[in-house]
Amino acid sequence: MIQEITRKGFKVLGSFILPREIKADLADYKEYARKVVNLYKDIISIWEIYIQPKEDSIPDLIRNKELIQAIAEAIKEADPKAIIAGNLPYGKQDYEPVDSETLDLFDIISLNYKPSILTEPQQAVLEAYKSLRESFPEDKKALPLWQI
């Protein structure tokens, strides 16, 4: 399948979904990321760095700054041409989830609505989200959207 996708000219995005808390040596995370990128750099040109948030909360990207930096460095060391995407939640207009130094590690930003931080003008999105969840089978309604 991946050959068909790349033959058609699609760009492929790989994701590093990182833990909320650093549970290993940063060098181990970095070595893992370097090996993954080396293995797939002929297929994947964009790498997303995503800190898994607690259910319906905002990931703490500032607290995980060293981990994000280690993964970003590993990506660029393994593939200097790689594009690094940062995954950020948004909703409140005054919310600043990352400092400029961390933001500078990314080439592109992926924004995700978080229903818990929507402002009043974004209530239509919240209603659409609720309707979407209601359409799921009963045994799936409590799962995060990405697990349905």
pLDDT in tens, 60-89: 555 578 888 999 999 999 999 999 998 776
Predicted local distance difference test score (pLDDT) of residue 4: 84
Residues 129-148 have a mean pLDDT of 76
pLDDT in tens, 97-125: 567 788 889 999 877 666 555 566 666 76
12, 46 in Cβ contact below 8 A?
yes
- Scanning 41-135, the segments in alpha helix (DSSP H) are 65-78, 100-103, 123-134
Among 61, 54, 140, which Cα is nearest to 96's?
A: 61
- Scanning 60-122, the segments in alpha helix (DSSP H) are 65-78, 100-103
64 burial (CB, 10 Å; 0-12 / 13-18 / 19+) is buried
